[in-house]
Copies of this chain bind each other. A is one copy, B any other.
Amino acid sequence: MAAATDGNATLSDLGEFGLIGRISDLAARTAPGEDVLVGPGDDAAVLRVRKGHVVMSTDLMVEGRHFRRDWSAAADVGHRAAAQNLSDINAMGGRAQWLTVGLAAPADLPAEWALDFTQGFAEECALVGAGLVGGDISQADQVVISVTVIGACAVSPVLRSGAEAGDVVAIHGRQGWAAGGLAVLGRGFRSPRVLVEAYRRPEPPYDAGPVAAESGATAMIDISDGLLADAGHLARASGVSIDITTGSFEVAEPLVAVGAAIGADPLQFILGGGDDHALLATFPPGPALPDGWTRIGTVSAAGDGPSVTVDGSAYDGPTGWSHF
Q: Which of A49, A135, A138 has the most CB of B within 10 A?
A: A138
Residues of B within 8 A of A61 (CB): 138
Name the contact of A139 in the complex, choosing from B44, B55, B65, B103 (C-beta under 8 A). B65
Q: Tell whether A46 is near chain B: CB-to-CB under 8 Å.
A: yes
- The answer on a CB contact under 8 Å between B146 and A60 is yes
Other-chain residue from B43, B57, B98, B160 in contact with A91 (beta carbon distance below 8 A)? B43
Using a Cβ–Cβ cut-off of 8 Å, how many residues does chain A contribute to the interface with B? 74
A141 interface residue, CB < 8 Å from B?
yes
Q: Does any Cβ of B come within 8 Å of A207's Cβ?
A: no
Looking across the interface, which residue of chain B has its beta carbon closest to that of A100? B58
Specify the chain B residue showing the minimal Cβ separation from A51. B49
Listed by A's residue number, 19 A-B pairs whose Cβ atoms lie within 8 Å are A14-B324, A38-B159, A41-B160, A41-B237, A43-B57, A43-B89, A44-B57, A46-B55, A46-B56, A48-B53, A49-B51, A58-B148, A60-B103, A60-B104, A60-B138, A61-B138, A65-B138, A139-B323, A144-B146
Decide if B150 touches A56 in the complex (CB within 8 Å): yes
Residues of B within 8 A of A53 (CB): 37, 46-49
